[in-house]
């Protein structure tokens, strides 16, 4: 059956209309940006104005072109998913009558294990902030908090002074889907949070009217880009070979706890995962380490 369209609009025009419809549905700015970027790239690569002229072969060639350009499998998956949803939308709105993505085999997401900083690398990282400065004290408290509680970047930046219960060593975190959870804070995290509150935050807060815990210059709440920028500098320290970001510290928190006997259920509650399957990357890393240790012990006999 030949694909045909009753609209006569170019694929570029239909894509713009599609984005406008997503805006009307109140999609987030980040999601809209991803869809726009993916569809622009697809249209520029395929170079066909008529949506009806695009075939399954064109889509397969586009998927291969992304890989040839050096895209990682996970990025190819997200780009191609945007294209799939676009064609599904055109089919549902009768802009096309045959969806060329329908018969394509789905591309499976890579299960490649993510790197996790070692306990020694974490010790080196935590020692990097300059404790003679206010910013250094803040950064030490922040790093200790992430490593102790395994919070996500957004959760970290949304923390408030009132969410802390330092006397009982815990904090209230608002996670994904507005799900609230209590997380434990280790001895070092509590210690440095107290120092930060007493010596830095209270002084900086004179020009800050809110309850935000982490403050940047002039007493303003820390921005979303600030923590990664700090980690880029701190993770260049001698002795650190793993690329360290906030999420890798979260993985380190879970992995190191598992190595020291914490249960998978406890880790699930700590990290705020609703499904145990999300812990697989942490469990797999630990199992890999155990296998390596086992092999080394055999070789040493």
Question: In the annotation, is 282 catalytic?
Answer: yes
Query: For 286, phi and psi rounded to 5 degrees?
Result: -65, -45
Question: In the annotation, is 250 catalytic?
Answer: yes
Where are the alpha helices (H) located in the chain, listed in sequence order?
A: 11-24, 29-46, 56-68, 73-92, 119-126, 134-149, 153-157, 187-196, 202-204, 226-234, 246-259, 264-271, 280-300
Question: In the annotation, is 89 catalytic?
Answer: no
Strand partners, 151: none
Residue among 176, 194, 217, 291 flagged as catalytic: 176
Residue among 84, 181, 191, 247 flagged as catalytic: 247
Q: In Å, how far from its chain's centre is CA 172? A: 21
CB 83 within 8 A of CB 62: yes
Residue among 152, 170, 181, 191 flagged as catalytic: 152
Which tokens go with 36? Answer: 């726009």
Question: In the annotation, is 176 catalytic?
Answer: yes
* Cβ neighbours, 10 Å, residue 215: 22
CB 272 within 8 A of CB 175: yes
Question: In the annotation, is 260 catalytic?
Answer: no
Q: Please name which of 288, 281, 129 lies closest in space to residue 196, comparing C-alpha atoms.
A: 129
Question: In the annotation, is 154 catalytic?
Answer: no
Residue among 63, 95, 250, 256 flagged as catalytic: 250
Looking at the annotation, which residues are catalytic?
152, 176, 247, 250, 273, 282
């Amino acid at each position: 059956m030949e694909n045909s369209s009753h609209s006569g609009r170019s694929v570029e025009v239909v894509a713009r209309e599609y984005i406008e419809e997503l805006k009307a549905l109140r999609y987030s700015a980040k999601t809209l940006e991803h869809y726009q970027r993916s569809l622009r790239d697809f249209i520029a690569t395929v170079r066909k104005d008529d949506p009806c002229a695009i075939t399954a072969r064109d889509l397969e060639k586009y998927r291969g072109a992304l890989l040839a350009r050096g895209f990682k499998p996970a990025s190819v998956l997200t780009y191609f998913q945007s294209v799939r949803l676009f064609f599904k939308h055109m089919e549902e709105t009768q802009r096309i009558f045959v969806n060329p993505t329908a018969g394509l085999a789905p591309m499976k997401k890579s299960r490649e294990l993510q790197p996790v900083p070692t306990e020694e690398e974490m010790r080196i990282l935590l020692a990097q902030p300059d404790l003679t400065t206010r910013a250094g004290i803040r950064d030490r408290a922040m790093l200790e908090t992430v490593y102790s509680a395994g919070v996500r970047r957004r959760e970290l930046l949304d923390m408030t002074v009132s969410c802390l219960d330092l006397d009982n060593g815990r904090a209230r975190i608002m996670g994904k889907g507005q799900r609230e959870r209590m997380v434990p804070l280790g001895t070092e995290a509590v210690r440095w949070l107290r120092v930060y509150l007493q010596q830095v935050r209270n002084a900086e807060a004179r020009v800050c009217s809110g309850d935000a815990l982490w403050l940047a210059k002039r007493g303003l709440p820390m921005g979303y880009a600030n923590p990664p920028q700090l980690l880029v500098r701190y993770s260049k320290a001698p002795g650190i070979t793993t690329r360290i970001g906030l999420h890798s510290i979260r993985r380190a928190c879970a992995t190191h706890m598992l190595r020291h006997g914490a249960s998978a259920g406890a880790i699930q509650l700590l990290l705020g995962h609703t499904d145990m399957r999300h812990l697989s990357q942490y469990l797999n890393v630990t199992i890999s380490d155990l296998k390596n240790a086992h092999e080394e012990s055999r070789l040493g006999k």
